[in-house]
Amino acid sequence: MIERALFRNSETSFLIGIGCESEFVLNADLNWNALDEFIDVHKGKTLFTVINYQLGLDILTIQRNPNQLPLMRVWIPESTFLYEGVNAYLLEGEYNELNHQLAEELFETTEEISAIQWTAKIDRKNYLERVNKLKEHIQLGDVYELNFCQSIESQSVELTSIQPFFKRMWDANPTPFAGLVETENWMLASASPERFIQKKGSKLISQPIKGTAPRGKTEYEDQENIQGLESSKKERAENVMIVDLVRNDLSRLATKGSVNVDELCKTYTFPTVHQLISTISCELREEVTFSEILKATFPMGSMTGAPKKAAVELAQKYEGFSREFYSGSLGVIYPNGDFDLNVLIRTLVYNQESKKISCGVGGAITILSDAEAEYEECKVKVGKILSLFGSCQW
């Protein structure tokens, strides 16, 4: 098959990559110099990248299980298109009719999708027990906050393309950091609302999401849910703790005194949920490389907790699955060296070898968390996405 990748570029456009002219895969040897050299040598071209959450365990020197998917992949497409309106326009690389057609097909009417039976890998009883165990760790002072996740899966699924899934997700829930990747061995379709990190010139911007409320069935109920979210001590505390963590991460890269909280706990509304999002920025020191930024900030605070290493270790112990691309990142490195990377949440991942399609979901656990409420929040976050393709046994 011919590889395809897509990443939302602006409110009205997407970048689409077809094929692979050249690639770099970061393996367990963590050859950061080779990564920076690959990016530097290809400056002036658009690069796509996918980052595996498991890479974060290596960065934090935490032992992990062998990964089935690449730790990180950066590649240059054969043809890069800008999709705007209903047309794809060639930006870089070789033009041919097939690549142009493959780009425009990403937004065409989808083929039928056979109904999927999703199954949560942790049942309700086990989920509640694990959350309460994690609260005991918090009570003991092992961590202050931890992002605890679970995997919703379906086995024996035969896919030749994940485009129909992406198109249905996009039509139902057009999110600011949506994306797609199709390769011979794996595919993903993301309806992510969250930015991990963006570089614009000398400025670095991170926008963690922490704090969730469902959309209301009426305008009145919707406004009540917003007010409840904004006044919730628990939800705001989740967000503020991660803001402090991100400030600390960025301070390792920033010029003195330049780390700033531009927005704190601002409510953003999406088709299925309301979320609290904070924006933290800094001015980068000169000559900071892509790998240095990654090592200082990944895995992202919103998907880990505080302190980061302790939170990641506990999550790995209690979750019982390898997150792989879920909780990782998809994005684009632009020709001038700027980049934009999302957080791979609200994301379907398909493994061609195992024939498994999965959707991870999680939330922040603090001392104020109620296990039942956390379980219901997971349903709010991905329930509507899963229902687009079948039913889920929680």
Report the catalytic residues.
Answer: 194, 210
Cα–Cα distance list, 292 to 35, 143, 262, 342 (Å): 11, 26, 23, 18
Q: Within 13 Å, how many C-alpha atoms sit on residue 117's CB side?
A: 3
Give the three-class secondary structure for 188: strand
The three state secondary structure string of 11-38 is: CCEEEEEECCCEEEEECCCCCHHHHHHH
Whether the upstream peptide bond of residue 208 has omega within 30° of 0, thus cis, is no
- The dihedrals phi and psi of 392, each to the nearest 5 degrees, come to -120, 135
Return the H-helix or E-strand segment holding 127. helix 124-140
Structure tokens at 173: 């829930």
Cα–Cα distance list, 208 to 46, 94, 264, 342, 382 (Å): 25, 37, 10, 10, 18
Q: How far apart are CA 91 and CA 81, in angstroms?
A: 5
